[in-house]
A and B are shown apart, each in its own frame.
Chain A
Amino acid sequence: MRKLVATVFNYSLDGLLADEGTEFWKFCFDLPENREPDDPAQLDFLQSAYAHIMGRTAYESISGPMTTATDHPFAPILNAARKVVFSRTLKTADWANTTIAAGDTAEEIDKLRLGGDGYIVVWGGVSFWRSLMRLDLIDELQVSLFPYVAGDGTRLFDGVPKSYRLDLVSSTASSNGIVELQYRRHR
């Protein structure tokens, strides 16, 4: 069965996401590795995924830049990859290689997971992400922890199951004070 791997790119020490337009957002995207993310391991991770899944919000915010700013390191990978957008309202998805999953979330995920190995990358947005957490469908978390106490922002892990145990797979110091954390769901 394929694993669901959730990526969290901009996470503050106080558990908040960098909302667009905030000081934290500016801090994150002033860093070159965020503006131009070209780490070969990261690109290989995206490239090797069986599929990329996202909610409508993330679909709308990612598909635009990826189809116009084609010099972004993610663009060739994501444009060619299998993508599924989870939405009950979206009627058509113009981004190449994208299908719409409009049914029950758990059943739609099962359809993607079954019948093979490898992994599926979970993008946002926050509400899609939280719905997967609530259903306890996420197998692995990759968090980029920034050296930053934001104070204001979206609390990523709001409404997750209580006492949600994880196994730490790795924690590595990266550049600019960022710590890359990798966890597996403890089952």
Chain B
Amino acid sequence: MTKVIAIMSMSLDGYVADANDGVGEVFDWYFSGDVEVPTASASSGMTFRVSPPSAEHLRGLVAEIGAMLTGRRTFEVAGGWDGQHPWDIPAFVATHHVPDGWPRPGSTVQFVTDGIESAVARAKSAAGPKSVGVHGAQTIQQCLDAGLLDELHIDLAAVLLGSGVRLFDHLANTPVVLGDPAVVAGVGVTHLRYPVHSS
């Protein structure tokens, strides 16, 4: 079965970005270690520098994810990944309207305009035997509300932002009781992986 895994870096007080969509502080851990983990896409030219436990965690996760699902905001903030998600996998963007100039020739970024269930289904078939990663607060909220998530993967950053974009905002069905997490302690970050029980 293809799993659907929410993946998000979050501050200890529950924010995934500051009020201006800045992710600098919650993403600090990606660039604060000694072990280089290059992303798969040569064109993005992005190399993470993380601590040894985070490197092991990150390599495993990247190898496990076969397609990425995000919302429009993540797509915009990332500048459309220049048409190619840095993990070198197909990316699906759940949105009401396909942005101007997209889809681009040669790009692996696709758009789904008929709802979150459909977006998850398309990402699942693209992921094949691998898992679908879900990124972006609003998309994760929609998946959680619709009972579409199998796991919740939080990189808990050692910072308090105080304000900004909350991951667990606007949820329709709370409380949500999660399973026992796998815990990996990195440097300045705790990688937590919770099973989401189907209700």
A residues touching B (Cβ–Cβ < 8 Å)? 13-15, 23-24, 27, 143, 145, 147-152, 155-157, 159-168, 170-173, 176-177, 179, 181, 183, 186
Q: Is the CB of B183 within 8 A of A160?
A: no
Q: Is the CB of A149 within 8 A of B171?
A: yes
Q: For residue B159, which residues in chain A have a CB less than 8 angstroms away from its CB?
A: 163-166
> Given known contacts A149-B174, A152-B174, A166-B159, is B13 in contact with A160 (CB within 8 Å)?
yes
Closest to A184 in B: B158
Q: For residue A170, which residues in chain B have a CB less than 8 angstroms away from its CB?
A: 185
Chain A binder among B113-121, B127-135, B162-170: B162-170
> Given known contacts A13-B168, A148-B176, A179-B181, is B160 in contact with A160 (CB within 8 Å)?
yes
> Given known contacts A157-B12, A173-B180, is B188 in contact with A168 (CB within 8 Å)?
yes
Quick one: which of B163, B167, B185 contacts A171, CB cutoff 8 A? B185
B192 on the A face (CB < 8 A):
yes
Q: How far does the alpha carbon of A170 sit from the alpha carbon of B158 in the complex, in Å?
A: 11
**What's the least CB distance linking B9 to chain A, in Å?**
14
Q: For residue B190, which residues in chain A have a CB less than 8 angstroms away from its CB?
A: 168, 171, 179, 181
Q: Is the CB of A177 within 8 A of B178?
A: yes
Quick one: which of A147, A164, A176, A183 contacts B162, CB cutoff 8 A? A164
B77 on the A face (CB < 8 A):
no
B161 on the A face (CB < 8 A):
yes
B residues touching A (Cβ–Cβ < 8 Å)? 12-14, 25, 144, 154, 156, 158-163, 166-168, 171, 174-183, 185-190, 192, 194
Quick one: which of B163, B166, B178, B189 contacts A148, CB cutoff 8 A? B178
Q: For residue B144, which residues in chain A have a CB less than 8 angstroms away from its CB?
A: 149
Q: Can you report 14 A-B residue pairs in the complex whose CB atoms are below 8 A from each other?
A: A143-B12, A149-B171, A150-B174, A151-B174, A151-B175, A161-B160, A161-B162, A162-B161, A163-B159, A166-B159, A168-B188, A177-B179, A181-B12, A186-B158
Q: For residue A149, which residues in chain B have a CB less than 8 angstroms away from its CB?
A: 144, 168, 171, 174-176, 178
Closest to B173 in A: A151
Quick one: which of B158, B175, B176, B192 contacts A183, CB cutoff 8 A? B158
> Given known contacts A147-B179, A149-B178, is B185 in contact with A14 (CB within 8 Å)?
no
Greatest chain B CB density within 10 A among A14, A150, A160, A170 is at A14
**What's the least CB distance linking A126 to chain B, in Å?**
14
Q: How far does the alpha carbon of A168 sit from the alpha carbon of B183 in the complex, in Å?
A: 14
Q: For residue A179, which residues in chain B have a CB less than 8 angstroms away from its CB?
A: 181, 183, 190, 192
> Given known contacts A23-B175, A150-B175, A183-B158, is B12 in contact with A177 (CB within 8 Å)?
no
Q: For residue A163, which residues in chain B have a CB less than 8 angstroms away from its CB?
A: 25, 159-162
8 nearest A-B residue pairs (beta carbon): A151-B174, A15-B14, A14-B168, A157-B13, A171-B190, A149-B176, A164-B160, A147-B178
**What's the least CB distance linking B79 to chain A, in Å?**
24
Q: For residue A168, which residues in chain B have a CB less than 8 angstroms away from its CB?
A: 158, 185-190
Q: For residue B180, which residues in chain A have a CB less than 8 angstroms away from its CB?
A: 147, 173, 176-177
Q: Is the CB of B167 within 8 A of A14?
A: yes
Q: How far does the alpha carbon of A165 sit from the alpha carbon of B28 in the complex, in Å?
A: 11
Q: For residue A151, which residues in chain B have a CB less than 8 angstroms away from its CB?
A: 168, 171, 174-176
Q: Is the CB of B194 within 8 A of A147?
A: yes
Q: How far does the alpha carbon of A146 sit from the alpha carbon of B182 in the complex, in Å?
A: 13
Q: How far does the alpha carbon of A147 sit from the alpha carbon of B176 in the complex, in Å?
A: 9
Q: How far does the alpha carbon of A148 sit from the alpha carbon of B174 in the complex, in Å?
A: 9
Q: How far does the alpha carbon of A133 sit from the alpha carbon of B179 in the complex, in Å?
A: 31
